[in-house]
Amino acid sequence: MLDGIDAAGLGDALVRRAPLPVDDVDLLRVHRSDHVEALVELDAAGGGRLDPDTTMGPGSWQAARLAAGAGLVAIDGLRNGDAEVAFCAVRPPGHHATPTRTMGFCLLNNVAVAAASLADAGERVAIVDIDAHHGNGTQDAFVADGRVLFVSCHQWPLYPGTGAVDEVGTGDGLGTTINVPLPTGAAGDTYRYAMDVLVVPAVERFAPDWILVSAGFDAHRADPLTDLGLSAGDYADLMGRLTGLVPTGRLIAFLEGGYDLGALADSAGAFVAAALGVRYSPEATTSDGPGRHVVDAQVVRHGLAS
């Protein structure tokens, strides 16, 4: 992925910062103490299996704490004017980790930790999740929290089996969860359409102070775990539609999934370049995919029809 970003020719435009481990105060904004304690105990034992998909090795806990802390380092850097946008190139991914459990390779929810810190500081936050898998952990963290808008475009059906059209939030968060479950083969034209008529209008209506992007590149057509049809050029378009929705210095993207190494390199390069206003497209955009009917139905459901 880092090679892909370098291939975009961004050079001196990039300001590189090392992450710092997240502390317990910030973790406990999202995760229950027993969840954190279980991870600490398993780390002390040298690692082991947490759930059917997720295993800890000897370095996993430190890596997870750095990944969860990266967003907080990015927030501080953007607030200080060090850069105009941030991309957290981190693993493990995070968006499947719920407040109470690990799931799907995720130990801690990186984007949720950053969002909770911002929300507790009085900021309004929009999270846009473009990973091929639904960000169930992020949704669970904010499903009843009106301070955070969560929008997810994902393949349906697919692991983890959540993200249906009628999952719209509860309590104070009613209406601030928007899911776009797309069929197998959905391509760039469907995603661009979803951005134009649903995602961007929803974000504009919510009027966030910050946008956080769960940038999963496993919706790429070459990914071995999914059946969507995006290309690196499509990812450039998606990021291009999100820039400008908040003031400069208020957008952070977090790496989530992406399991074909060539697709990951090309997509990350195109995505980060687009965040900086540079057009880099190692692959052509895609079209003729299904799913517009899902988008249209969600536009009506969420009151965004013009």
101-123: average pLDDT: 98
Give the model's pLDDT for residue 81: 97
Which residues, listed in sequence order, are joined to residue 220 by a DSSP beta bridge? 230
Give the model's pLDDT for residue 32: 98
Give the model's pLDDT for residue 11: 85
* pLDDT digits 0-9 by tens, 142-167: 999 999 999 999 999 999 999 999 99
Give the model's pLDDT for residue 69: 98
Percent of the chain residues past pLDDT 90, beyond the cut: 98
Q: Which of 186, 218, 160, 188 is nearest to 294 (CA)?
A: 186
CA 103 to CA 275: how far, in whole Å? 29
In order of their start, the domains of the chain are: 2-301 (3.40.800.20)
* pLDDT digits 0-9 by tens, 178-197: 999 999 999 999 999 999 99
Give the model's pLDDT for residue 79: 98
For residue 306, is pLDDT > 80?
no
Give the model's pLDDT for residue 12: 85
Percent of the chain residues past pLDDT 70, beyond the cut: 100
Angle at 294 between CA 290 and CA 296, to 5 degrees: 110
Give the model's pLDDT for residue 97: 98
CB 149 within 8 A of CB 139: no
78-100: average pLDDT: 97
Quote the tokens at residue 1. Answer: 């992925």
Give the model's pLDDT for residue 165: 98
Active site includes 31? no
CA 9 to CA 280: how far, in whole Å? 9
CB 106 within 8 A of CB 53: no
Give the model's pLDDT for residue 20: 98
Catalytic residue among 31, 35, 95, 96: 96
* pLDDT digits 0-9 by tens, 215-263: 999 999 999 999 999 999 999 999 999 999 999 999 999 999 999 999 9
281-304: average pLDDT: 97
Rounded-to-5 percentages of helix, strand, coil across the chain: 40, 15, 45
How far, rounded to the nearest angstrom, does the alpha carbon of residue 264 sit from its chain's CA centroid?
15
Q: Provide CB contacts within 8 A for 226, sequence distance 6+.
A: 132, 133, 155, 158, 218, 219
